[in-house]
A and B are shown apart, each in its own frame.
Chain A
Amino acid sequence: MSDETLALPGDALREGVVDALRSALGADLLDSLIKPNDDVWVRVATSAWRTAGEVLRDTVGCDYFAFLSAIDWMPSPYGKSEDDPTEPAPEVDLTVRQGYCGGDTRLQVFARVTNTTKHFGVTIKADVPDDHPAVASWIPVYAGANWHEREAHEMFGIGFDGHPDLRNMYLPTDFEGHPLRKDFPLLARMVKPWPGIADVEPLPGGDDEEGGE
């Protein structure tokens, strides 16, 4: 083990990532966030998704592809299905609030790539337009993105332009809906009553006063 490999990533490296992306993408780098001694997030414009990947791979040196996925920022209208059916359903606030680096759309794709020599990673996000949910495919940049994009496609209904083979991976071909979208109900929790509802029969007398000590 040489000392060089032991050096753990500093924030200077992370600032370098943001700078490199800014100089390559210009205004297409929409937002960035560096948490000291922790991690770096960047958000790029939808049109610059693939270019950003290339910059990360070639300029920043993130040669290792960790994952690619998506988030649906809309809160679930169904909650946890842990409500007492006898009481009125609680109000669900359906306003979309994005996470780090903000965003304008309900769906976002995000990916993480890592530099294996300098030991730091970057989480990169891009908005997915609501009217035409599609971004450019990352397969030419990272070959491993293939399966991740297939998964994101079937789970969120996001298209990946340039992906050769967006077949379903887990679900039957004729499956309808996109399970990881928040408006897709989790049936396992819907078909069964929640056992957590207090079911305590009161005293025949019916007084609700607490007795004892």
Chain B
Amino acid sequence: MIALAYWVQSLLRVLGGTVAVLLPAGTIVYLFLFKMMSFMQSRLGPMEAGPYGSLQLFAEVGKWLQKEDIAPERADKRIFRIAPLLVLVSTFLLVAVVPFGPDAYFTNFDAGVFYMLAVSSVSTLGILIAGWSSANKYSLLGGLRAAGQLIAYELPMVLSVLGVVIQAGTMNLQSIVMQQNAGSIFGWDGIGNPFILTQFVGFLIFMISVQAELTQTPFDMPIAESELVSGYMTEYSGFRFLIFFIAEFATAGVFALIASVLFLGGWGIPFSWFGWDSVGSIDNWMNVGGPLIMVTKMVVLSGIIMWVRFSYPRMREDQLQRFAWKVLVPLSLLNIMATAILKVVF
């Protein structure tokens, strides 16, 4: 390990945080929203800006930045302007605990899982005040739907993560990564012990909840372009809409990162491949290789999120509430019980 001065470390972390939020957002928007969606619909998507439309993203950002920043006449203007920032802040807070390598993390503390679940609901506040302050009935309906939905799906998400926490015996995300990569399946350590194998039900529930937390189809009732005309975002334009947009896809990326940390072994590769046995013995290049591995996993997971989004119609509000409370919550409770019993037995 190399020792860096505190200010260098801090600078690196701030820069890294920005990159860790914007890069997934950009990747997801270009790879999936522009390209994968187009291919799934037998078209090519943006092709004019840059090779294969790769610079389209910058064109879009430029377009949004040029637009006038409009607030409706009767809106609660101060709150109206703050709302998108609050949603984006939630994303930045979320990325803070995600470990990208043995030393490449922003902060590493023992209540990582707890913190992550707590800050992920900050965006709910932003969405609710965006819906309320817009002085628009569609926005209001969208904001209320979003609040109801995000709270409903917070619970199965927490409960599904609990399974992992019980199995790992820690709430520190870094330790969870270590355990998965250093672990073994009945003595065979060829692929470590990623929790997706033992916690598959938890993984499914987590991914469904993520889909709902991100308000992606089939859980996009709060946005619902065809009925609520984008719900709480109806009145936003210009860079405030852009912030909502970035936050939506950045959060998708960050949640995919967290899912890969919790269930897929995070930044690590099975330690047995290189004969590492403790944190100290991990080679330094993992601080560069780790983030790349994370991004790969993030792309795969967010690809699945987007694939589902482009294929399904949306559920009605009461149906998705029923699904959360009557299916996901009992299922995740059962999962916790089974995990706890097995933990005691083995």
Do A and B touch directly, given a CB cutoff of 8 Å in the complex? Answer: no
